[in-house]
Amino acid sequence: MSRTIMAGGTLVTAEASFRGDIAVADGRITAVGADLPRDGAEVLDVSGALLMPGFIDGHTHLDMPFGGTVTADDWDTGTAAAVAGGTTTIVDFSLQDVGGTLAGAVEEWQRKAAGARIDYGLHVAITNLTEEVKAEIPTLSALGVSTIKIFMAYKGTPLFTADEDLFEALQIAREAGILVLVHAENGDVIAKLQAQALARGDTAPRFHALTRPEAVEAEATNRAIRLAEVADSPLLVVHVSCAAALEEVRRAHARGQTVYAETCPQYLVFTYDDLAREGFEGAKYVLSPPLRDASNWEPLWHGLQTGDLQIVGSDHCSFNYAGQKELGRDDFTLIPNGAPGLEERAAVLWTHGVRGGRISEQLFVAVLSTNQARVHGMAGRKGALAPGFDADIVVWDPDRTVTATQANRHGRVDYSPYEGMTFTGGPAAVYVRGALAYRDGEVLAEPGSGRFVERAFRQPAPGPAVR
């Protein structure tokens, strides 16, 4: 079998940085160490570069219907954007049909994912938690699905899940070895505040945030955590946006409860002021939970440092400004929720986190890759530079400076919230299972080259936070 040695780079893992070679054969890492024997292997000189395990994004929405429209990025363009940002595996949300089964959702998403350029796993987002669906939850493990998502928000739609159903799902999931992800916002209060705002004639994008205040997220976060405590179940709180919600996670950790928590780059660099931009521009920043004020930035960075937040996912959910975001011109509740960020996630975190002196390069790797693999059930296969792991490798150039423009992006959406922002640090090359998938601005991975990753949630995961 043919062997390749990536030689002379600095390996950055969740634990340490050190000079070393990586040997790759048949898509897997076979050895890591200083001056590995060549034995006729092809040698790839990567001196001067940082080598990291491929980034994993456990939170994406590709080819997803929402409010009568469908996300701008499908699996072809979405995974092109991903690999251009150093991401080699995503876990996307299969959306249950309101009258359908969970297996049906997985089947439908497997069909959509046929064009994937990188590896992928699938969550199931439960949109209608009936008795039949509850009974189906334990069967997901056999499909390689280790996670379900439940919505406490979106009152008035079947997504909205009452406490008794959420609680029962936590009990069932615990028995089945399935991890429950929650969208934690109080759906009752949001529905009331939205109706009151519209009755007053407050229809602009910024009312999206004003009708979803921080306490609404903090309350639901605490409620989900306490329900999980009673059910004796682990829990993953996705897209934590503010200090108040983070505080509930921190309190759970102080009690010794197993709660994982994710934040997203948009909550670290944007604010309510973006939502309040002139005219209808704010629609580009309508996502849920909403953007907060800048006083939340440092607490979120601190949460990453302390390990109360273990992962950073993009929540990439792209809708074009023209024709899609515009659906809500006269009513902010009709603006499709979400923004693109798959391509920018690591660059934001390196520029503002590592270069900004807020996180170490080890923590950068932990929250983008190693912890992602553990929380999302891919430990032992993804998320580390170690023998036996898939050879998903990012050759990271810490000094590469790029200003985000429509021309240099790889997704399909017609705008980016990051437009005009300058990032320092980005991938020079990306390998997926040993194959060159991206180099110098060009996506080389073909549609359909990505493989499905069967996942299994194992406790305890992910272990103590890496600092």
Is position 185 an interface residue for Zn ion (rule: CB under 5 A)? no
Q: Least distance (Å) from Zn ion to the CB of residue 368?
A: 17
Q: Is 91 or 354 the residue whose CB approaches Zn ion more closely?
A: 91
Q: Least distance (Å) from Zn ion to the CB of residue 185?
A: 12
Is position 343 an interface residue for Zn ion (rule: CB under 5 A)? no
Q: Is 10 or 127 the residue whose CB approaches Zn ion more closely?
A: 127
Q: Is 30 or 89 the residue whose CB approaches Zn ion more closely?
A: 89
Q: Is 20 or 417 the residue whose CB approaches Zn ion more closely?
A: 417
Q: Which stretch binds Zn ion (CB under 5 A): 38-46, 49-57, 186-194, 314-322?
A: 314-322
Q: Is 73 or 315 the residue whose CB approaches Zn ion more closely?
A: 315
Strand-pair partners of 29: 24
Q: Least distance (Å) from Zn ion to the CB of residue 440?
A: 31
Q: Least distance (Å) from Zn ion to the CB of residue 386?
A: 30
How far apart CA 118 and CA 333 sit, in angstroms, is 34
Q: Which stretch binds Zn ion (CB under 5 A): 6-14, 133-141, 212-220, 313-321?
A: 313-321
129, 160 contact by CB (below 8 A): no
Is position 217 an interface residue for Zn ion (rule: CB under 5 A)? no
Distance of CA 345 to the CA centre of its chain: 9
Q: Is 123 or 174 the residue whose CB approaches Zn ion more closely?
A: 123
Q: Least distance (Å) from Zn ion to the CB of residue 59?
A: 6
Number of residues that bind Zn ion (CB under 5 A): 1
Q: Least distance (Å) from Zn ion to the CB of residue 61?
A: 6
Q: Least distance (Å) from Zn ion to the CB of residue 256?
A: 28
Closest residue to bound Zn ion by CB:
315
Q: Least distance (Å) from Zn ion to the CB of residue 292?
A: 17
Is position 74 an interface residue for Zn ion (rule: CB under 5 A)? no
Q: Least distance (Å) from Zn ion to the CB of residue 408?
A: 25
Could you write out the three-class secondary structure of the chain? CCEEEEEEEEEECCCCEEEEEEEEECCEEEEEECCCCCCCCEEEECCCCEEEECEEEEEECCCCEECCEECCCCHHHHHHHHHHCCEEEEEEEEECCCCCCHHHHHHHHHHHHHHCCCEEEEEEECCCCCHHHHHHHHHHHHHCCCEEEEECCCCCCCCECCHHHHHHHHHHHHHHCCEEEEECCCHHHHHHHHHHHHHHCCCCCCHHHHCCCHHHHHHHHHHHHHHHHHHCCCEEECCCCCHHHHHHHHHHHHHCCCEEEEECCHHHHCCHHHHCCCCCHHHHHCCCCCCCCHHHHHHHHHHHHHCCCCEECCCECCCCCCCCHHHHCCCHHHCCCCECCCCCHHHHHHHHHHCCCCCCHHHHHHHHHHHHHHHCCCCCCCCCCCCCCECCEEEEEEEEEEECCCCCCCCCCCCCCCCCCEEEEEEEEEEECCEEEEECCEECCCCCCCCECCCCCCCCCCCCCCC
Is position 73 an interface residue for Zn ion (rule: CB under 5 A)? no
Is position 214 an interface residue for Zn ion (rule: CB under 5 A)? no
Is position 315 an interface residue for Zn ion (rule: CB under 5 A)? yes
Q: Least distance (Å) from Zn ion to the CB of residue 264?
A: 9
Q: Which two tokens stand for residue 95?
A: 């959306």
Q: Which stretch binds Zn ion (CB under 5 A): 243-251, 311-319, 369-377, 457-465?
A: 311-319
Q: Which stretch binds Zn ion (CB under 5 A): 209-217, 264-272, 309-317, 419-427?
A: 309-317
Q: Which stretch binds Zn ion (CB under 5 A): 114-122, 312-320, 423-431, 440-448?
A: 312-320
* Binders of Zn ion in range 380-439 (CB under 5 A): none
123, 57 contact by CB (below 8 A): no
Instruction: Report the sign of the C-alpha dihedral through residues 372, 376, 379, 381, in that order.
Output: negative
Q: Is 57 or 315 the residue whose CB approaches Zn ion more closely?
A: 315
Q: Is 10 or 77 the residue whose CB approaches Zn ion more closely?
A: 77
Q: Which stretch binds Zn ion (CB under 5 A): 105-113, 194-202, 249-257, 315-323?
A: 315-323
Q: Least distance (Å) from Zn ion to the CB of residue 147?
A: 13
Q: Is 62 or 300 the residue whose CB approaches Zn ion more closely?
A: 62
Q: Is 106 or 430 the residue whose CB approaches Zn ion more closely?
A: 106
How far apart CA 386 and CA 140 sit, in angstroms, is 29
Q: Is 30 or 79 the residue whose CB approaches Zn ion more closely?
A: 79
Using CB under 5 A as the criterion, which residues of the chain lie in contact with Zn ion when the complex forms? Answer: 315
